[in-house]
Amino acid sequence: MTDLSPQLLLYVGTAAGLFAIGLYGFIVGPQTLRRILALNITGAGIFMLMVVLAYRGLADGAAVTSPDPVLQALILTGLVVAVSATAFALALLARLKQAPAAQDALGQEKKP
């Protein structure tokens, strides 16, 4: 186990801050687009935390050690899934905006 240096603590704090801001935006945000963006911010915080967890620190006497490759692969896969899920959610949102009956579902008032 490695000690948490001030740099790692900064990254962990930033990741926690991104997660908290995204969660707050998802809970409070009334518009669907804001909720989609808030989920992306939450995902960025989780990915940043996984990058920090992949750090192994310096081994005894070793100059440089490589980060955990399994977590790197998970982060890369997660980024691809997050981008495709965001594109799908935005396409659904655009389709909902086009449908006249969906205006009530999005929280918008009908204009007479």
Residue of 86, 12, 82, 99 whose CA lies nearest to 48: 12
- How far CA 51 is from CA of 54, 55, 70, in Å, comes to 5, 7, 11
Q: Given the structure tokens 């909720």, which residue do they identify?
A: 35
Number of domains in the chain: 1
Domain with 63 in it: what CATH number?
A: 1.10.287
Structure tokens belonging to residue 91: 């396409």
Question: Helices 6-28 and 32-54, interaxial angle, to 10°?
Answer: 160
- The CA distance from 48 to 34, in Å, is 21
Range of the domain at 67: 6-99
107 within a domain of the structure (yes/no)? no
- Label residue 2 left, alpha or beta by phi (over 0 means left) and psi (-120 to 50 means alpha): beta
Tens of pLDDT, residue by residue over 5-54, are 788 889 899 999 999 999 999 999 889 899 999 999 999 999 999 888 88
Confidence of residue 1 (pLDDT cuts 50, 70, 90): very low
pLDDT tens-digit map of 62-84: 556 677 788 889 899 999 999 99
